[in-house]
Every structure is written in structure tokens, then in C-alpha cells.
A and B are shown apart, each in its own frame.
Chain A
Amino acid sequence: AQSVTQLGSHVSVSEGALVLLRCNYSSSVPPYLFWYVQYPNQGLQLLLKYTSAATLVKGINGFEAEFKKSETSFHLTKPSAHMSDAAEYFCAVSGVSGGYNKLIFGAGTRLAVHP
């Protein structure tokens, strides 16, 4: 069965610093992987997705993620944090459960950006 582990429920960085949010997955088949962002009291918005094309995926707002099969990882990065990046981030893998395909989400990582 597929699963996702996000390391670190809270991450704090300074404005202008590197953002690194960690995601490890478990999947018995080539995975489809996703990163979503959620701002307070809003729904989730797709940042980027990996669908077996390029291993380095670029998303919106300057974020990117690299698929590393050997490490079963799909970490999210941004070279320089901005105050507006403060939000909760969810990693997800496409999996089958109960005979149906659905997204399986990690527990989320809350990113704080301080001046």
C-alpha cells in the first residue's frame, strides 16, 4: 500500500533563506507525487506534481521538487523564502485503496517565515 511521510510538522526559516520541506513515500508501483499548499481557512492548491517525466519538477511561486527513486523522496525546495510562503504544505501520492484510486496525503508541514 502507498503511504507518505512528511518529516517535521513545523519548519521555521528566515526571509530569504532556503526552504526545504521533506517528503518520503512508499509505493510498490511507479508513483505519481504531488505537493499542495494551504493558506489559513482556504482549500488546498496544487503547487506541482511528478508524473514520471522529468525528475526535477518546477511549480508555482518559485517552488520545485526533485524525485529521487533511490531515496524514495520528493522534497520540496525554494531558494529564497518570502513572507507570503508561510502556509501549510502537504505531500501526496496517488494510490489504490479499497479498489479505488485516490490521493494519500501526508500529515502536513507548517512553514513559518520570520523577518
Chain B
Amino acid sequence: DGGITQSPKYLFRKEGQNVTLSCEQNLNHDAMYWYRQDPGQGLRLIYYSQIVNDFQKGDIAEGYSVSREKKESFPLTVTSAQKNPTAFYLCASRNTGTESYGYTFGSGTRLTVV
């Protein structure tokens, strides 16, 4: 079955450490997105990518970086510059053929600073 796989499900980061969250999709979708979710704040867009080797900053990109070397993969790195990284991170993808397509979401990664 096609879908989006996020790993790991739980991740612990020490102060000053960079960590990378994985997002892989086998839906042949062109666009991929990273969201951060904090209690009571809904979904905030971090980065998005419409095609391979191209990506754009979202609303809260500071302290994060991404790459899009393959259509299937869109990893997110949480750098030491992100001062409050504890949150639930969601990856999504979308077929860009028409605006009527919604997103398909992964099951999320919960990142905790220890």
C-alpha cells in the first residue's frame, strides 16, 4: 500500500545536537511538506518542496533545514539553532496535478529535548 513513512516515531535530542527526521513516500507525489504541531497552536509550516532539488521556507523555518535529493524523500534536520524544538512533527505529501487534491500525512515524529 502507498503511503508516507516517518521515522523514528519518538526522538530525543540533547542540547546543542542536530537531529534528522526521516520522511519517505511511495505515492509518486511531487510536493512534500513539513509541519510542526504544538498544543493549542494547530499546524505551522516549516518547509515545503514542489519538485526535486527545490524547496521553500514556510512560516517557521529558522533553526531547521531540509533537502530534496529524491522525489520520495524529504528529510528535516532540527539544528542546534532551534531553541525550542520539543514538538510533534508531521510530514505530508500531495499530488500537484490539481488543487482539489488534499494532503496525505505521515504518522508523525515526537521530538523531545533532554
Contacts and interface: CB of A to CB of B under 8 A. Distances in A.
A42 interface: yes
B2 interface: no
Contacts, number: 57
Interface in A35-71: 36, 41-46, 49, 51-52
A103 B107 contact: no
Contacts of B105: 36, 43-45
A31 to B, nearest CB: 9
Interface residues of A, number: 25
Interface residues of B, number: 27
B15 interface: no
B108 A9 contact: no
Given A100-B50, A102-B33, A102-B48, A34 B102 contact: yes
A95 B40 CA distance: 23
A30 to B, nearest CB: 10
B103 A107 contact: no
Interface of A: 9, 32, 34, 36, 41-46, 49, 51-52, 90, 92, 94, 98, 100-103, 105-108
Interface of B: 4, 6, 31, 33, 40-43, 45, 48, 50, 56, 88, 90, 92, 94, 96, 99-100, 102-108, 110
